Structure 1
Amino acid sequence: MIIASARFARRRHLAKLVAAAGISLGALAWPTLAQAQASGDEAATASGGGDIIVTGSRIGRKDADSVGPILTLTSEDIIKSGTSSIGDLLQKLPSAGVSLNSNGTQGTSYGASSINLRYLGGAEGSGNRVLVLVDGHRWVDGVGQRGFRDFVDLNTMPQGMIDGIEILKDGASAIYGADAIAGVVNIKTVQPFDGLRGSVRAGITSHGDGAELGGKLTVGKTWDRASIILSGSYSRTHAIRTDARQLTTRTLVPQTAVGTNPNGLFILPGLANNGYFGTAAGFASSANPIVLNPGATIGAGNLADNAFHVGALPGDAYNTQAQGIYSAGPSERYGVYGRFDYELADDVTIRIDGVYNRRKSNQLFSPVLLDVGGTAGTVRGFAIPNNQAYNPFGTANGVPAANALAFGANSAWRIRKVMTDVGNRNNVQDVETIRLSVGVDGSVTIGGGEWRWDVFGSYAKNSIHTMAENGINYDNLFLGLGSPATCAATAGCVPINLFAPMTEAQAAYIRYTTREYNRTELYNAAFNVTGNLFDLPAGPVALAVGYEYRQNRGFDAPDAYVNAASRFLASQYATTTSQTRTATVGSYDLHEAYAELNVPIFRDQPFAESLELSLAGRYSDYSTVGNKVTLKAGVGYRPIEDILFRGTYSQGFRAPSILELYQGARQTSFQGNDPCNGGAAANPGLPGCAGVPAGYNQINYNLNGLIPGVISGNTSLKPETADTFSAGIAISPRGVRGLSLTVDYYKIKIKDAIASQTPTQIMQLCAVRGGVFCDLVSRDAGTGAILELLQGAQNLNSITTDGVDATLRYDFSTGIGRISAVVDASWLHSFKTTAPNPAGGAPIVDERAGRGDSPRATYPHWKGQASLGWTGDTADATLRARYIGPTTDVVNAVKDARTRSIIYTDLEIGFAIADDAARFSLGVNNLFDKAPPASYANAPINYDIYTYDARGRFLYASFSVKM
Structure 2
Amino acid sequence: MYTNNKLAKSIRLALMFGGASIALTGTAAAQDQSGDDAAEEAQERITVTGSRIKRTDYESASPVQITSSEEIKNSGFTRIEDLMNSLPQVEAAQTSYIANGASGVATLDLRGVGTNRTLVLMNGRRLQSGGIYSQAPDVNQVPAALVERVEILTGGGSATYGADAVAGVVNFVMKDDFEGLEINVGASGYQHSNGNDYMQGLMDARGFGYPTGGSGIDGKSYNIDVTMGSTFADGKGHATAYATWRQINELRQESRDYSSCALNGAGTACGGSSTAPLPNTYFAPIVDGEYDLSQEVYWALDPSGAFRDKLGSDVYNYAPINHFMRPDTRYTMGAFVNYDVNDSFRPYMEVSYMHDRTVAQIAESGIFFQYFEFDLDNTIFSDAQRAQLQDAFGNVDTVGAYIGKRNVEGGPRQNALEHSAYRMVFGAEGYLNSNWSYDVSFQYGSTSSSTAYINDFYVDYIGQALGANGYDACGDGCIPYNVFTPGGVTAAAADGLGGVAIMNGITSQRILNGFVTGEFDASLPSSDLPMAAVVGFESREVDFERIADTIYQEGALAGQGGPTDSIMGGYNVKELFGELSVPIAEGRDGIDSMTLDLGVRFSDYSTSGNETTYKAALDYNVTADWKVRASYNRAVRAPNVAELFAPSSLGLWSGEDPCAGDTPEYTAAQCANTGVTADQYGQVGESTASQYNGIFGGNVNLQPEVADTYTVGVVGNPMDNLNFTVDYWSIDIEDVIGTLGAENTLRLCAETGDAVYCDNVTRGAGGSLWRGEDGYVVATNINVGTEKYRGVDMNVNYTVEDVLGGTITARMNGSYYLEKYTDAAGVDCAGTISTNCFPQPDWRHSLAVTYTPDDIWTAQVKWRYFGGVDYDGTTDQLLLGRGIASQSYIDLVSTFEVNENTSLLVGINNVLDKEPPLVGGTLASNANTIAGFYDTLGRYIHASVTFRF
> TM (normalized to structure 2)?
0.85
Letter in 2 for 1:215: I
User: What residue in structure 1 maps to residue 866 of structure 2?
Assistant: 884
User: What residue in structure 1 maps to residue 913 of structure 2?
Assistant: 929
CA contact (8 A) 2:295 2:393 kept: no
User: What residue in structure 1 maps to residue 822 of structure 2?
Assistant: 833
Shift of 1:128: 0.9
User: What residue in structure 1 maps to residue 151 of structure 2?
Assistant: 166
> CA, structure 1 residues 190+693, in 2 after alignment: closer, same or farther (shift >3 Å)?
same
In structure 2, C-alpha distance between the alignment counterparts of 1:760 and 1:660, rounded to whole Å: 20
Asked if 1:775 is matched to 2:786, the reply is no
User: What residue in structure 1 maps to residue 249 of structure 2?
Assistant: 238
In structure 2, C-alpha distance between the alignment counterparts of 1:881 and 1:392, rounded to whole Å: 64
What SS is found at the alignment partner of 1:715?
coil
CA contact (8 A) 1:99 1:115 kept: yes
Match of 1:112 among 105, 109, 130: 105
> CA, structure 1 residues 452+387, in 2 after alignment: closer, same or farther (shift >3 Å)?
same
CA contact (8 A) 1:480 1:487 kept: no
Letter in 2 for 1:419: N
Asked if 1:360 is matched to 2:357, the reply is yes
Letter in 2 for 1:819: I
In structure 2, C-alpha distance between the alignment counterparts of 1:59 and 1:391, rounded to whole Å: 78
User: What residue in structure 2 maps to residue 726 of structure 1?
Assistant: 711
> How does 1:19-418 map onto structure 2 within 5 Å?
45=38, 48-49=41-42, 50-61=44-55, 65-106=59-100, 108-121=101-114, 127-143=115-131, 147-206=132-191, 207=215, 208-223=217-232, 224=234, 225-253=236-264, 254=269, 259-268=274-283, 286-287=296-297, 289-293=299-303, 305=306, 309-314=308-313, 316-322=314-320, 324-372=321-369, 379-383=370-374, 386-388=377-379, 390-393=380-383, 411-418=399-406
Match of 1:757 among 719, 725, 740: 740
Letter in 2 for 1:474: V
In structure 2, C-alpha distance between the alignment counterparts of 1:672 and 1:402, rounded to whole Å: 38
CA contact (8 A) 1:87 1:101 kept: yes
CA contact (8 A) 1:37 1:43 kept: no
Letter in 2 for 1:860: P
User: What residue in structure 2 maps to residue 955 of structure 1?
Assistant: 941
CA contact (8 A) 2:155 2:731 kept: no
Moved more, 844-853 or 89-98: 844-853
User: What residue in structure 2 maps to residue 456 of structure 1?
Assistant: 441
> CA, structure 1 residues 387+755, in 2 after alignment: closer, same or farther (shift >3 Å)?
closer
Moved more, 337-346 or 92-101: 337-346
> CA, structure 1 residues 171+486, in 2 after alignment: closer, same or farther (shift >3 Å)?
closer
Asked if 1:560 is matched to 2:542, the reply is no
User: What residue in structure 1 maps to residue 428 of structure 2?
Assistant: 440
> CA, structure 1 residues 401+381, in 2 after alignment: closer, same or farther (shift >3 Å)?
closer
What SS is found at the alignment partner of 1:76?
helix
In structure 2, C-alpha distance between the alignment counterparts of 1:178 and 1:128, rounded to whole Å: 10
What SS is found at the alignment partner of 2:441?
strand
Shift of 1:334: 0.7
User: What residue in structure 2 maps to residue 25 of structure 1?
Assistant: none
Shift of 1:33: 10
Deviations 1:856-909 (A, max 9, x none): 722321111111111222111111121122222234445124122211221111
CA contact (8 A) 2:569 2:645 kept: yes
What SS is found at the alignment partner of 2:750?
helix
CA contact (8 A) 1:259 1:318 kept: yes
Deviations 1:203-224 (A, max 9, x none): 1111332111112101112122
What SS is found at the alignment partner of 1:539?
coil
> CA, structure 1 residues 941+865, in 2 after alignment: closer, same or farther (shift >3 Å)?
same
> CA, structure 1 residues 407+444, in 2 after alignment: closer, same or farther (shift >3 Å)?
farther
Shift of 1:99: 2.1
Aligned CA RMSD, in angstroms, stands at 3.2
Match of 1:846 among 827, 831, 843: 827
Shift of 1:228: 2.1
Where do 5+ consecutive residues of structure 2 fail to align? 1-22, 192-214, 287-293
In structure 2, C-alpha distance between the alignment counterparts of 1:402 and 1:325, rounded to whole Å: 40
> TM (normalized to structure 1)?
0.84
> CA, structure 1 residues 321+406, in 2 after alignment: closer, same or farther (shift >3 Å)?
farther
Letter in 2 for 1:587: G
What SS is found at the alignment partner of 1:142?
strand
Shift of 1:726: 0.7
User: What residue in structure 2 maps to residue 4 of structure 1?
Assistant: none
User: What residue in structure 2 maps to residue 524 of structure 1?
Assistant: 511
> How does 1:643-722 map onto structure 2 within 5 Å?
643-679=626-662, 683-684=666-667, 687-688=670-671, 690-691=676-677, 692-694=680-682, 696-700=684-688, 704-722=689-707
> CA, structure 1 residues 475+719, in 2 after alignment: closer, same or farther (shift >3 Å)?
same
Moved more, 851-860 or 551-560: 851-860
Match of 2:585 among 599, 602, 626: 602
Shift of 1:576: 4.8
In structure 2, C-alpha distance between the alignment counterparts of 1:344 and 1:139, rounded to whole Å: 28
Shift of 1:724: 0.9
Where do 5+ consecutive residues of structure 1 fail to align? 1-29, 122-126, 272-283, 299-304, 373-378, 565-572, 836-843
More strand by share: 2
In structure 2, C-alpha distance between the alignment counterparts of 1:726 and 1:784, rounded to whole Å: 48
Shift of 1:705: 2.7
Match of 2:789 among 793, 801, 817: 801
CA contact (8 A) 2:366 2:457 kept: no
CA contact (8 A) 1:44 1:51 kept: no
Match of 1:421 among 402, 405, 409: 409
In structure 1, C-alpha distance between the alignment counterparts of 2:272 and 2:25, rounded to whole Å: 61
Shift of 1:202: 0.6
> CA, structure 1 residues 821+168, in 2 after alignment: closer, same or farther (shift >3 Å)?
same
In structure 1, C-alpha distance between the alignment counterparts of 2:363 and 2:273, rounded to whole Å: 18
What SS is found at the alignment partner of 1:321?
coil
CA contact (8 A) 1:720 1:752 kept: yes
Shift of 1:682: 6.0
In structure 2, C-alpha distance between the alignment counterparts of 1:101 and 1:613, rounded to whole Å: 40
Moved more, 724-733 or 200-209: 200-209
> CA, structure 1 residues 85+512, in 2 after alignment: closer, same or farther (shift >3 Å)?
same
Q: How many residues align?
A: 866
